[in-house]
Structure 1
């Protein structure tokens, strides 16, 4: 309860920071300008009030916050991904089961970000406003698709980390994680070290998120003081588009995949997800919701504990469809706000980066925004716009988590049914909930063979 109260308190503080920043920035936009009006003399020097607030305080605080977000990208992705792959690459757990689960999770993530990009490019929520950066912004020429694939593999992983080449960092982290998993006792010691590092980095992320209200305030105040009010209309379009796409993915795409691959009634699946949705919505964390997801798929949906103990934690690690949708729409939105046309290879880069990064995205609130900074970096878009996204992101984060845990549950049922470890009678029972006994796998297998 304390964590839930703390989360809601942080959400309220961010919303307050956003509203206060927009209000003060808008007032400055109306009352002042940057030409020297409303200036005063200090020690013989003429100082503009506008410059002190907008170019001084707001710019410094906002820039420090954005730099802090960028600071966390490489260590967060590398350490989290190594930890995840260490567990995924356990030889006793890989094979047919692991291949099915990983394939389904990554496939749904790729579908999510591709559809999000397509809709954002079609609807253009960021069109009509031209934002400016502190420096003249010119996009770098994008390489061909073949070169993009070649560049995913680093010649020097340390250089890739120093230069923020995240696709290279992701590939190296995957290979490093696999090597750790296959290295016996030595690998176990290194994996334990990375688990501890991951805990420390997660604590650093939470420290930064607790400072987010001040960063959001400064970024929104500067933006409101310097841009056309139309930008906030576009931000509303972004919010609505992401919310609609999240609901469509959770209530239409998932049930369609579920029906095609299992032949079961998806309405029963959605009905049994209600408690898990409520918990996911209140915590904004796939990891925190994991015990509830596990109990839902085993006690209500008939998935064997053998399968659920693998697919549910795996899903909380690599299944981030909701985050991928946000990253796809946000990237297109920010590009449109800055008047940048994304090329075909850049769009492919967004899809690849968002899909692969989902493997290293921790299931805790706020991490998706840091991952967004990584995606923006890959297509050479300015990070400053993250502050604008963050202004409404907390309101979307809860819905994203609902989508993520729905995907975890769907894949668990699909895998269990394909492996003959699924109690269909329990799934079809609308009142099946809360039985304490574990599923009898022999009975389930016999039932499957008879049907």
Structure 2
């Protein structure tokens, strides 16, 4: 009896989360578009997360950098982080290409007459400037400036590190702020069952019926390949990172981040759950506090796979051959760019679609709506791989940085 109570206490958060999501899904199926009335509950939860995410990212990154003792260790960590992120993005893209080649998309795709977003043209240099920096300090506090905020947080951490004894008080402030923001997010996550339940109800009620239209085959292919990648390749990554114990500790602690990613469709909103999960997976603080916040906007296995399927759908629309080697090389290049520049906002940004359509020379008016529909419908699974991939990548980074015995040493300590 006591064991069952202890088990419920350990997994109570996950159980309540599952109950909320299940209830929301049932409401969505039963009432359809009528569930829009409870959508504000999901919006409130997500807005609370987003308002807390900005200071969390600042404090976690800045305090982590400021607490490092050796700059050589920091430089090595960055190289490993970028190497792991890039490797998994390329592996996921190649796997989706193989899936498309094995199960070609030949069917006609219905071109939906949905309104197009206005696309502002800007020079390449201007776009890079806007991506990496902000015009004023207050603009750093916007989710649209997430990459600029991360760069600014790194610089603050470096400045604190270089300030020596005179900066000790500020470093204490950063560490204290990091702890306060973690506690705030812990409080917000208490409302997750209601918030995520409302979001699931809305997604099932509004988008569910569209899954049975002309997009069924590419969507089915995408979800099948992604599910295979999620189960098989994430298991391989975890096994490489920590052996059998790594496999066990990963799958035992990634449920909450996975459900949060599915419910919010946002890598950024999943950062708190990822940080908590990676801590339970014994990933060192100096690694998880850099890899997780940095991975949210920059590391996107799911987006790389969705980029491939969207390009394949566009080629099928116009009767073009997607399997040409030069086409595939360009597609892989696009996925890498998309992984870097695509934001963590739910269903946000169609940079990858616009880039692909422009490079391949397809008519924007016809190709973009189809790509937008596919992008919207694959977003939950894409976010799952994007966000959950950050956690397993943190384990891989630890394996490379700390050696193959990092997990066994931590568990026996």
Displacement of 1:192 in angstroms is 2.1
Task: State the SS of the aligned residue for 1:273.
Answer: helix
Alignment TM-score, normalising by the size of structure 2: 0.63
1:258-297 equivalence runs, <5 A: 269-284=242-257, 285-290=273-278, 293-294=281-282
Partners of 2:40 and 2:312 in 1: CA distance = 22
Give 1:193's aligned residue. Answer: 177
Displacement of 1:138 in angstroms is 3.2
Contact 1:68 1:208 in 2 (8 A): yes
Displacement of 1:204 in angstroms is 2.9
Structure 1: stretches of 5+ with no match in the other structure: 26-53, 256-265, 298-307, 358-370, 439-451
Describe the superposition over 1:84-114 as per-residue Cα deviations: whole angstroms up to 9, x where unpaired.
Answer: 2223322643422222223212321233335
Partners of 2:331 and 2:145 in 1: CA distance = 19
Partners of 1:137 and 1:156 in 2: CA distance = 30
1:343-422 equivalence runs, <5 A: 350-353=338-341, 371-373=344-346, 376=349, 401=388, 404-417=390-403
Give 1:155's aligned residue. Answer: 135
Displacement of 1:309 in angstroms is 6.5
**In structure 2, do the counterparts of structure 1 residues 194 and 410 end up closer, same or farther at CA, with 3 Å as the change threshold?**
closer
**In structure 2, do the counterparts of structure 1 residues 117 and 78 end up closer, same or farther at CA, with 3 Å as the change threshold?**
farther
Displacement of 1:374 in angstroms is 7.9
**In structure 2, do the counterparts of structure 1 residues 173 and 316 end up closer, same or farther at CA, with 3 Å as the change threshold?**
closer
Partners of 2:248 and 2:173 in 1: CA distance = 38
**In structure 2, do the counterparts of structure 1 residues 291 and 187 end up closer, same or farther at CA, with 3 Å as the change threshold?**
closer
1:140 aligns with one of 119, 141, 146: 119
**In structure 2, do the counterparts of structure 1 residues 83 and 288 end up closer, same or farther at CA, with 3 Å as the change threshold?**
same
Question: Is 1:184 equivalent to 2:168 in the alignment?
Answer: yes
Question: Is 1:128 equivalent to 2:103 in the alignment?
Answer: no
Contact 2:302 2:381 in 1 (8 A): no
Structure 2: stretches of 5+ with no match in the other structure: 1-6, 258-272, 319-329, 355-367
Partners of 2:122 and 2:77 in 1: CA distance = 32
Partners of 1:293 and 1:226 in 2: CA distance = 38
Task: State the SS of the aligned residue for 1:138.
Answer: coil
Question: Is 1:14 equivalent to 2:2 in the alignment?
Answer: no
Give 2:151's aligned residue. Answer: 171
Displacement of 1:234 in angstroms is 4.8
Partners of 2:375 and 2:26 in 1: CA distance = 16
Give 1:261's aligned residue. Answer: none
Contact 1:180 1:190 in 2 (8 A): no
**In structure 2, do the counterparts of structure 1 residues 288 and 65 end up closer, same or farther at CA, with 3 Å as the change threshold?**
closer
**In structure 2, do the counterparts of structure 1 residues 165 and 275 end up closer, same or farther at CA, with 3 Å as the change threshold?**
closer
1:250 aligns with one of 217, 221, 234: 234
Displacement of 1:317 in angstroms is 5.7
Partners of 1:23 and 1:334 in 2: CA distance = 31
Displacement of 1:185 in angstroms is 0.6
Contact 2:304 2:339 in 1 (8 A): yes
Displacement of 1:325 in angstroms is 1.7
**In structure 2, do the counterparts of structure 1 residues 314 and 377 end up closer, same or farther at CA, with 3 Å as the change threshold?**
same
1:302-341 equivalence runs, <5 A: 310-311=286-287, 315=291, 318=294, 324-330=300-306
Task: State the SS of the aligned residue for 2:66.
Answer: coil
Contact 1:77 1:170 in 2 (8 A): no
**In structure 2, do the counterparts of structure 1 residues 94 and 336 end up closer, same or farther at CA, with 3 Å as the change threshold?**
farther
Q: Which is higher, the Rg of structure 1 or of structure 2?
A: 1
Partners of 1:434 and 1:190 in 2: CA distance = 26
Stretch moving more, 285-294 or 334-343: 334-343
Partners of 2:94 and 2:65 in 1: CA distance = 33
